[in-house]
Amino acid sequence: MPNGLDEQSMEETGGDHREISVAEFFEKNKHLLGFENAQKSIITVVKEAVDNSLDACEEDEILPEIQVLIDEYDDKKCRVEIRDNAIGLDRETIPKVFGKLLYGSKFHKLQQSRGQQGIGISASAMYAQLTTGEPVTVYSKQEGEPCHKFVVRIDTEKNEPEIIEDEVIDSDSDEFPGDQDYYFDHGTTIEMQIEAKYTKGHHSIRNYLKHTAIMNPYARVVLREPDGNKIEYPRVSKELPEKPKEIKPHLHGVELGVVLRMVDNSDARTVSSFLQNEFTRVGRTSAENICEEAEIDEGRRPNTLSKDEVEQLLKAAENVKLQSPPTDCLSPIGEDLVLKGLKKELNPEFSTAITRKPTVYKGNPFQVEVGIAYGGDIEDEGSYEELRYANKVPLLYKKSACVTTKAIEEVSWNRYNVSQTGNRPQGPVYILVHIASVWVPFTSEGKEAIANYDPIRKEMKLALQEAGRKLGRYIGRKERKEIQEKKKRKLTSYAKEMAPAIAELAEEGDVDDLENRIQKMVEADYNPEQL
């Protein structure tokens, strides 16, 4: 032992220090990922799988077909099967995607997607293993290729997959699970057994899928509940949203430590080309201006830059005007699809949608969409209902901690003919708020609420006010119309009593006076006795 440390003091001082695998960490902290209890956990598992399926379909521009099949067995256990028609996963990737936490294709990209962490689906598999001891089974088929079946466990202490089965099966045969109705020529099917409680209330798979259907009206989703009941969320649009593009980071939102790493890893020959190649919106002139402002020779090799020089470059960049990052990395669904989604699932008498222009927060582009649905089949249950989305994924929990709720509560709904209790709008109204971003600042790994950042809340408020004004005009017109209708109805109902009186007056030939009298009668709420 160096420095005279003996076994004894090793033991006392640092001998029990150990590495903690990220799988062990999240197994013990599973509540951070949405696995607090049996009721919530099954929603989390379905959500992670469906989110991945939708991402995969959109990535390959396939109209999504998703089946969610739930069976109960034993006491408090469910078998969950989720099947999609995406192009399937390649053989090499499958074990790690399902058997290793922090593994994925989305984390390192600046591009809008539902998943962003590489945790969700492998954590679901870990939860299955933890609660029922059962590994995850994955079937994945690419078009014209054989179907691969994998059975995978997670070695929690190492955070590495353990392959239990790896075989090619005939997807036309009985080996392929579930109803043949659900057969697709390409796609992925996942089977997990988990401790679960299947419920039908506000926090339920039904509600999660209903919310998903509203925001993804180009998807067809079928749910088979444990009692065999099938619910279809139909496709109402064959139009996929524009596929988002990957972008590079923007100099105005990047941290020094990250740039230092980029400098180390760069194979650019000059500082100028480093700036142009690694960042968005830096052209030759901007690069030159930054170097000049920083007093650094633009022709130097990036890896000769000291820390202080890199810091100078970043400071200089703050003083050089750069265009905002491009926003084709975003994929909002647009006002038309928001309206279609609201109409098909809620059947309201009035609906409106606003898609704001993209804007930027700390170098990250984001975009807000808002929809309001009012009346019709929507029942008045006192408080409004909220539909919260981040990158098209519904958020069902932690409403009061979410920036969407704070934005809604900042709007003066009274002005828009909507009554309020405290800050909350009341009545038969659904308010939808969607943020599309390359990086949504969730308040936890469970992705349940969005942090209350000023620029995001402000955008949401502006969108809500715009939509609110439209709702206000509609309710105003409706209320005026209702008053007129009421008048008409009353007039009609008094017709019988009024008829003789009017006839009498008419006989007297006092027609001018008659008109006046009828007007008075109408103003006096049609009390014929006042005639």
The conformation of residue 216, written as its DSSP 8-state character, comes to -
Q: Quick one: 14 or 201, whose CB is closer to a copy of itself? A: 14
Start-to-end CA distance of the chain, whole Å, equals 113
According to CB under 8 A, which one of 7, 8, 61, 108 is a site residue for a copy of itself?
Answer: 108
Asked if residue 255 binds a copy of itself (CB under 8 A), the reply is: yes
Asked if residue 165 binds a copy of itself (CB under 8 A), the reply is: no
Pairing of strands 65-73, 220-224: parallel
Asked if residue 250 binds a copy of itself (CB under 8 A), the reply is: no
Taking alpha carbons only, the member of 150, 137, 114, 118 closest to residue 194 is 137
According to CB under 8 A, which one of 38, 130, 262, 491 is a site residue for a copy of itself?
Answer: 130
Quick check: 120 and 97 in contact, CB under 8 A? no
Tell me the window of 63-71, 126-134, 285-293, 372-380 that interacts with a copy of itself (CB under 8 A).
Answer: 126-134
Taking alpha carbons only, the member of 239, 274, 277 closest to residue 260 is 274
Asked if residue 293 binds a copy of itself (CB under 8 A), the reply is: no
Asked if residue 156 binds a copy of itself (CB under 8 A), the reply is: yes
Asked if residue 357 binds a copy of itself (CB under 8 A), the reply is: no
Tell me the window of 15-23, 283-291, 455-463, 504-512 that interacts with a copy of itself (CB under 8 A).
Answer: 15-23
* Residue type (1 letter), 441: P
According to CB under 8 A, which one of 158, 172, 242, 258 is a site residue for a copy of itself?
Answer: 258
Asked if residue 262 binds a copy of itself (CB under 8 A), the reply is: no
Asked if residue 105 binds a copy of itself (CB under 8 A), the reply is: yes
According to CB under 8 A, which one of 103, 139, 150, 366 is a site residue for a copy of itself?
Answer: 103
According to CB under 8 A, which one of 10, 163, 483, 522 is a site residue for a copy of itself?
Answer: 10
CB of 87 to a copy of itself, least distance (A): 6
How far is C-alpha 424 from the geometric centre of its chain's CA atoms?
22
* Residue type (1 letter), 279: F
419 CB-near residues (< 8 Å, 6+ apart): 413, 425, 426, 427
Transcribe 300-356 into DSSP letters.
Answer: S-GGG--HHHHHHHHHHHHHS--PPPPSTT----HHHHHHHHHHHHH--SEEEEEEP
According to CB under 8 A, which one of 165, 172, 256, 522 is a site residue for a copy of itself?
Answer: 256
Asked if residue 25 binds a copy of itself (CB under 8 A), the reply is: yes
Tell me the window of 210-218, 287-295, 307-315, 491-499 that interacts with a copy of itself (CB under 8 A).
Answer: 307-315
CB of 358 to a copy of itself, least distance (A): 21
Quick check: 467 and 371 in contact, CB under 8 A? yes
Measured between alpha carbons, how far is 277 from 285 in angstroms, rounded to an integer? 13
Asked if residue 28 binds a copy of itself (CB under 8 A), the reply is: yes
